[in-house]
Amino acid sequence: MKIGILTSGGDCPGLNAVIRGFGKYVFNQIEGVELYGIADGYGGLIRGEWRKMTPQDFVGILNLGGTILGTSRQPFKLMTLEESNSPSKLDLMKQNYKKLGLDCLVTLGGAGTHKTAALLSAEGCHVIGVPKTIDNDIYGTDVTFGFHTAVDTATECIDRVHTTAASHGRTMLVEIMGNKVGWLTLYAGIAGGADMILIPEIPFDPEAVVATIAKKASSGKAFNIIAIAEGAMSREEAAMKKKARQLARRERGETTATQSLARLIAERVGVEARVTVPGYMQRGGNPSAYDRVLSTEMGSFAGKLAKEGRYGVTVAVQKNEITYNSLADIAGRQKSVPVDHPLIKTALSLGVSFGVEKI
Ligand code: F6P
């Protein structure tokens, strides 16, 4: 049996642990298996760049951040595009899948990776996905590997700004990654004891934000921590088309809502407001123990799916059970934070604000 494995999209803690879990499983459980590591995500499959892997490749990588295979972003919308009569990226990938004589391709990645995996699968390739992302936005799985490590990192960032917030009596806005969803901000915000949590799923009302900070300032709560998702937006912005929103922000020299909100708070409440953006720190570093366990489970389960010849699927966790979903069912769908999520209710019951008067 010949299997290819690649990691695609943004890097994420746990990629190497999944590669290891998968590699160890197949070398132990599938007689005569050949495993090929494809370089730099779908890019390597497009260009025909791979190397044969041996059990030695999986030694010492369980706790290693990043990916030993390399990765790249390959925008889904360009996959089927044919440029000046040359084959599309999809055609090149199919050609190389056949050239390498693969029985199966394992793709570790996020939402974009899964859309391409579903496309390859629909074109007749045997694909198994594994859901990676710090954003936790993959449909059909309760959790993605890498998410909890990023929660730990983002929480530590919030912890660290607490001291400055308290010492100076400032309002600190910590902008947390997560793309279009607020999972990372919600979890880190609660873990870091944020006073306010702003997520894309609950567009904030600037007046309510100002009123909340002002009330706390007048009642003697001199400092505030706001965990704000990079995808957070005001109600007014949420009503705009994406392009118009981006243009309006670009005209202010900004890409997110955070700086504007900090300025508004400073002007209207008269407190010092500062922004911290941990950025790629949240994707870096070693996977936490939780993510090592989850990645090992997901990797070995993907190996089991390969052994059983179960293709066109992606690994998932549902109610603490490891299982799988059909790629066709989950591709292109997003798992957002439901506004009635129990964690939101818990936070609200503790007096945490979500930047609106009422949810
Ligand atoms: O999907 C992971 C993620 O880190 C998002 O949270 C973020 O919006 C995006 O990737 C950043 O992407 P890039 O690596 O292309 O800058």
Residue nearest to atom 8 of ligand 1 (CA): 179
Q: Does 287 sit in the ligand 1 pocket, CB within 6 Å?
A: no
Q: Is 73 in the pocket of ligand 1 (CB under 6 A)?
A: yes
For residue 359, the model assigns a pLDDT of 81
List, by residue number, the catalytic residues.
135
The first and second tokens of residue 289, run together, are 């123990």
Q: CA 127 to CA 106: how far, in whole Å?
A: 6
Inform me whether the pLDDT recorded for 321 exceeds 80: yes
How does residue 277 score in pLDDT terms, banded at 50, 70 and 90?
very high
Give, in order, the Cα–Cα distances in Å from 359 to each of 79, 186, 187, 340, 353: 40, 15, 18, 9, 10
CA distance 200 to 249: 16
**Domains in the chain: boundaries:** 2-146+287-330, 149-283
Pick the CATH number of 2-146+287-330 from 1.20.120.80, 3.65.10.10, 3.40.50.450, 1.10.3720.10: 3.40.50.450
- What pLDDT score was predicted for residue 279? 97
pLDDT digits (tens, 9 = 90+) for 278-293: 999 999 999 999 999 9
- pLDDT, tens digit (0-9, with 9 covering 90-100), for 191-243: 999 999 999 999 999 999 999 999 988 888 789 999 999 999 999 999 999 99
Q: Which CATH class is domain 149-283?
A: alpha beta
41: number of Cβ within 10 Å: 25
Q: Is the pLDDT of residue 159 over 80?
A: yes
Residue 57 Cβ contacting ligand 1 at under 6 Å: no
Nearest CA to ligand 1 atom 9: 179
* pLDDT tens digits along 117-142: 999 999 999 999 999 999 999 999 99
| Residue 70 and residue 40 in contact, taking contact as beta carbons nearer than 8 Å | yes
Q: Report the residue among 175, 283, 335, 336 best suited for mutation to probe ligand 1: largest number of ligand atoms under 8 A from its CB.
A: 283
Q: What is the pLDDT of residues 71-120, one digit of tens each?
A: 999 999 899 998 777 899 999 999 999 999 999 999 999 999 999 999 99
Q: For ligand 1, atom 6, which residue shows the shortest CA distance?
A: 178
